[in-house]
A and B are shown apart, each in its own frame.
Chain A
Amino acid sequence: MSILVTPETKILVQGITGEFGGRHAKLSLDYGTKVVAGVTPGKGGQFFEHGAHKVPIFNTVAEAAKATGATVSAVFVPPPFAADAILEGVDAGLVLVIAITEGIPIRDMVRVKRAMQGKKTRLIGPNCPGIVTPGTGEKSTGGCRIGIAPGYIHKKGHVGIVSRSGTLTYEAVWQVTCKGLGQTTCVGIGGDPVNGTSHLDVIKMFNDDPETKGIIMIGEIGGNAEVEAARWIKEHCKKPVAGFIAGATAPAGRRMGHAGAIVGGAEDTAAAKIAVFKECGIEVAATPSDMADALLRVAAAKKVNLA
């Protein structure tokens, strides 16, 4: 199994006719992902064509979901309209909305998060690389790729990866793949201060997933989401967990690229988070080159075979 999405999951892409959304919709189709619909208001009735694929475009998410059975949306809509696009997916009763868009105003996300309370839809992101559940084909094709991650670096296997950063996720994925191991699902939860799914939410899913035998959790400065997850791991998770926190050298009070990567006080520094990781039995990678090795160390100590 995997978490959140499987190779059978049907996807719709909001913003499929945009340059960014279109490019990544094609890459997902190439990967073997079931992209069954696109949504662009005003372009309903047209088709998004790529090779042998002819993906119908709808004016609204509700129509697209009803006509195609899509349950998951990837949002590639520009920042001023992205919050509204997320809410449209929620209103259509989708299971999962994955917001790739970077630069959504925080106030918009505060309202979205409030509006989603009590709704069945889960949000991942925004400002995230998305999700990949690798497939069994060549270069992991045949899997479910939603978002902007490079598919070919993955390999089907037993490691779960959760991270706030895009390229740092790819770094971890590639290290795991180069060790001959693979991933169940890789989840980028995004670098914004207000996001839909936390480290802890994903960790709980990995913990419940029988296929996932080890976990890599990647965090950064700002907020306390990694600390919350680490404390839960200490109490409830028996699986080997390796961790990495970026931003040890970041100056306080400066926003380091991600809107959420900012040191506000003594509690959300890299040093403070690393200390909590260690205290909670998470094997800390000394450098970002050490993430897969750190997982192998803790797996060996717990006598868990990750292969």
Chain B
Amino acid sequence: MNIHEFQANALFGKYGVPAPKGVPAKTVAEIDAALAQFPEGMVVVKSQIHAGGRGKGTFTDGYKGGVKVCKTKTDAREAALKMLGNTLVTLQTGPAGRKVQTLFFTEACPPKKEYYLSILLDRASSRPVIVASTEGGMNIEEVAKATPEKIHKVFVDPAYGLADFQVRQLCFALGFNPKESKEAAKLIRNLYNMFWDVDASMVEINPLITTADDRVLALDAKVGFDDNALFRHPEIVALRDFAEEDPKETEASKHELSYIALDGNIACLVNGAGLAMSTMDIIKHFGGNPANFLDVGGGASKEQVVAAFKIILGDKNVKGIFVNIFGGIMDCNVIAAGIVEAVKEVGLKLPLVVRLEGNNVVAGKKTLADSGLPIVSGDSMADAAQKIVKLVAA
């Protein structure tokens, strides 16, 4: 799960991670109330969407820049009114863009120098890793590729937590002066505590800045959370913004289905994540384009299958459906009955290819064949994939 920058900024405040003072606003009245809290002078206006590249983005009406540093509060108000309710397109949003429903006003903090700081899980060592660089404000993957010596990492032993010497290593590596080091050490320590405490999957500050008076501040804030741990953080779950999610994905999560929308036209309904991924792959392999990832789980019920069909059909690009089930423990005949019922209930008009394999498969195939519905049966994954690709292309 992801949250907005203004929410991450508030979380930073709670954990003592220094960041510019900021106020969010969702309406014109809130914009005025927010700006009233700033002294006359420079104010930064930031569009709040769950995607990066906002500063270089363009709104669909042609207005340029989702983040503006404004010289006066009047300018800031004007920029905010242009952004609010407008749709911002960035490199990460896709061409449809995202509607800006919240703005975040922050005090302007002119940086002396920009840095990069993040904490995430290092899978190879199964430990949290803190990544820091003197190259702030840049794409960190490009920095890592072009100048790996400018990336500094410390791996935190979960048994002992972040050690003082590790914090010192980072501060020296980044070349902070003594006063900055003191500030930065506190920031890094508090940020790590937050990462651990809230079960974050990732926290990223890009840029982290130093100021003329040697303060160290998180100028941006990006925080992602481990979905598996949300059950113990109701305060984090409350920050979830459904407007930032594909409504089909939200609906799927209500039925405990794992669904991700893609841009193709062949919908997939599969049991198991690995099989679901490879079903998408095999469609592509035979020249088609998958419309989604959909894992109905190991013990898909009839209700889930019906819900899954409805979600799939909510995607107007879908021109055909590929159901791929390996019924290991599950009875294929029960699944077949669920498919037949779902097809009848939603009044399916699109081509449907079903590949069933496993427990009681003969009875399952018979149920599909006897249903009188135009369901095409596939013998193997490859056979079924070729059939659906052909039907959709026709």
Q: List residues 264-286 of chain B with CB under 8 A from any CB of chain A.
A: 270-285
Given the known inter-chain contacts A168-B275, A286-B285, please indicate yes or no for A194 contacting B126, CB distance below 8 A.
yes
Closest 8 CB pairs of A and B: A165-B274, A257-B273, A167-B272, A150-B328, A168-B274, A105-B229, A289-B382, A167-B275
Quick check: A287 and B229 within 8 Å, CB to CB?
Answer: no
Quick check: A191 and B127 within 8 Å, CB to CB?
Answer: no
Interface residues of A (CB under 8 A from B): 27, 79-80, 103-111, 113-115, 148-150, 152-153, 163-171, 174, 191, 193-194, 218, 220-225, 244, 246-251, 254-261, 265-266, 270, 286-290
Interface string of B277-316 (1 = CB under 8 A from A): 1111111110000100101001000000000000000000
Q: Which residues of B contact A254 (CB under 8 A)?
A: 260, 293
- A288 contacts which of B126, B284, B381 (Cβ < 8 Å)? B381
> B123 interface residue, CB < 8 Å from A?
yes
Dominant secondary structure of chain B at its interface with chain A: mixed
A108 to chain B, nearest CB (A): 8
Chain A residue nearest in CB terms to B358: A150
Q: Which residues of B contact A250 (CB under 8 A)?
A: 277, 280, 293
Quick check: A164 and B274 within 8 Å, CB to CB?
Answer: yes
Q: Which residues of A contact B357 (CB under 8 A)?
A: 171, 174
Interface residues of B (CB under 8 A from A): 121, 123-124, 126-128, 141, 157-159, 196, 199, 201, 226-229, 231-232, 258, 260, 262, 270-285, 290, 293, 295, 298, 326, 328-329, 357-359, 380-383, 385
Chain A residue nearest in CB terms to B259: A257
Quick check: A255 and B277 within 8 Å, CB to CB?
Answer: no
Quick check: B260 and A260 within 8 Å, CB to CB?
Answer: no
B173 to chain A, nearest CB (A): 22
Q: Which residues of B contact A251 (CB under 8 A)?
A: 260, 262
Q: Which residues of A contact B226 (CB under 8 A)?
A: 105-107, 259
Q: Which residues of B contact A114 (CB under 8 A)?
A: 126-127, 157-159
A242 to chain B, nearest CB (A): 14
Q: Which residues of B contact A289 (CB under 8 A)?
A: 282, 380-383
Cα distance, A148 to B263, chains bound together (Å): 34
Cα distance, A29 to B148, chains bound together (Å): 54
Quick check: A246 and B359 within 8 Å, CB to CB?
Answer: no
Cα distance, A84 to B295, chains bound together (Å): 28
Quick check: B273 and A287 within 8 Å, CB to CB?
Answer: no
A192 to chain B, nearest CB (A): 8
Cα distance, A107 to B121, chains bound together (Å): 9
Q: Which residues of A contact B127 (CB under 8 A)?
A: 110, 114
Cα distance, A185 to B14, chains bound together (Å): 51
Cα distance, A246 to B227, chains bound together (Å): 22
Most chain B beta carbons < 10 A, residue from A191, A250, A261: A250
Quick check: A165 and B272 within 8 Å, CB to CB?
Answer: yes
Cα distance, A29 to B229, chains bound together (Å): 33
Quick check: B282 and A288 within 8 Å, CB to CB?
Answer: yes
Chain A residue nearest in CB terms to B274: A165
Q: Which residues of A contact B126 (CB under 8 A)?
A: 109-110, 113-114, 194
Q: Which residues of A contact B283 (CB under 8 A)?
A: 249
Q: Which residues of A contact B128 (CB under 8 A)?
A: 110
